[in-house]
Amino acid sequence: MLKEIVEHKLKQMNIEIFYKHEVDKISRESDFLTISFLNNNKKLKTNVVYNCTYAQINQILMRSGLNLLPLEYELTEMLILRVPRTLRSMAITVVDGPFFSLMPYPSENLHTLSHVLHTKHYNWDDSNNILGERIIPESNCKCMIQDSAKYIPDLLLSDYVKSIYEIKTRGVSLKNQKVPFIASHEIDGLYSVLGGKMDNVFELSNLFNLLDHKKMIKGWNSNVKFVRPTSKNANSKPKLN
């Protein structure tokens, strides 16, 4: 549903989407920023670029010859289960501890299962081969299901279908860091945006207003500056820390 809504609004605003285009680098040429691609010779020229590529933010910065952001990555695993009939209409999350979350996966009429202790496999940062292939480990499905079944025994009746592995990204070394944040770079007009949750879009709306007023704070080095919100309230104006 959300995908269709966003696509409809993009079409209404005549925003062009380039599918199957992997960005190589971003450079400044005269009064414009130029975006080059890895898989074709096409180049785009624009005044402002927002790098919203999440786990690939630093890959683009590195190929562009820019300072990297101190980001940390986690390889995470989400189980896809066919749960018994007793659980098919349920969504269950146990919070404040080493617990689990069982959520519907409507696109396949299945459920996802994650666990605080077993979803994360390992973590790394960009000092460990930024472009290297990540090793997919053996699944933690047995641990996740057995630990969760201590609270919901019927989970033992579930059929394991597959695992979805994703890279979770977060900033490190920034005191009192809040997500999302926007970073400016050595190239005027280039901004990197990191936000990992759906409601970050409302916070980012306020952050962009701060950019319009040129209000940025010093970040991890002299060439990178950051702005970030201090409130979860989307209607409140973010403060600079």
Whether 60 and 84 map to the same domain: the answer is no
Whether 54 and 21 map to the same domain: the answer is yes
Of 20-24, 103-107, 146-150, 186-190, give the lowest mean pLDDT range. 186-190
Nearest C-alpha neighbor of 60 from the set 35, 33, 29: 35
Does residue 236 lie within any of the structural domains? no
Residue ending a domain, among 128, 147, 171, is: 171
Q: Which residue has the higher pLDDT, 118 or 125?
A: 118
Dump strand ranges (E) for the chain: 23-29, 32-37, 43-46, 49-51, 71-82, 92-93, 100-105, 110-115, 120-125, 159-171, 181-184, 190-194, 217-221, 224-227
Above 70 in pLDDT, residue 58?
Answer: yes
Does residue 122 lie within any of the structural domains? yes
Distances (CA, A) of 190 to 16, 48, 119, 221: 19, 6, 34, 16
What integer pLDDT is reported at residue 135 of this predicted model? 77
Above 50 in pLDDT, residue 119?
Answer: yes
Whether 120 and 180 map to the same domain: the answer is no
Whether 89 and 54 map to the same domain: the answer is no
Whether 150 and 88 map to the same domain: the answer is yes
Whether 161 and 199 map to the same domain: the answer is no
Whether 85 and 167 map to the same domain: the answer is yes
Whether 38 and 65 map to the same domain: the answer is yes
Distance, CA of 159 to CA of 32 (rounded, Å): 54
CA atoms within 13 A on the CB side of 107: 5
Whether 14 and 64 map to the same domain: the answer is yes
Range of the domain at 216: 2-70+174-227
Whether 190 and 157 map to the same domain: the answer is no
The tens digit of pLDDT for each residue in 71-97 reads: 888 999 999 999 999 999 999 999 988
Of 81-90, 118-127, 217-226, give the lowest mean pLDDT range. 217-226
Residue ending a domain, among 133, 154, 171, is: 171
Whether 34 and 52 map to the same domain: the answer is yes
Whether 51 and 77 map to the same domain: the answer is no
Total tally of structural domains belonging to the chain: 2
What integer pLDDT is reported at residue 36 of this predicted model? 96
Residue ending a domain, among 171, 199, 219, is: 171
The tens digit of pLDDT for each residue in 131-180 reads: 456 678 899 999 999 999 999 999 999 999 999 999 988 877 554 455 67
Above 70 in pLDDT, residue 61?
Answer: yes
What integer pLDDT is reported at residue 240 of this predicted model? 32
Does residue 208 lie within any of the structural domains? yes
Q: How many residues are present in the chain? A: 241
Q: Is 3 helix (H, G, I), strand (E, B) or coil?
A: helix
β-pair type (92-93, 43-46): unpaired
Does residue 191 contact residue 185 with C-beta atoms inside 8 Å? yes
Question: What band does 130 get if pLDDT is binned at 50, 70 and 90?
Answer: low
Residue 203: CB partners within 8 Å, gap ≥ 6?
180, 195, 229, 232, 234, 238
What integer pLDDT is reported at residue 225 of this predicted model? 54
Question: What band does 57 get if pLDDT is binned at 50, 70 and 90?
Answer: very high
Give me the mean pLDDT over the 9-31 stretch.
91
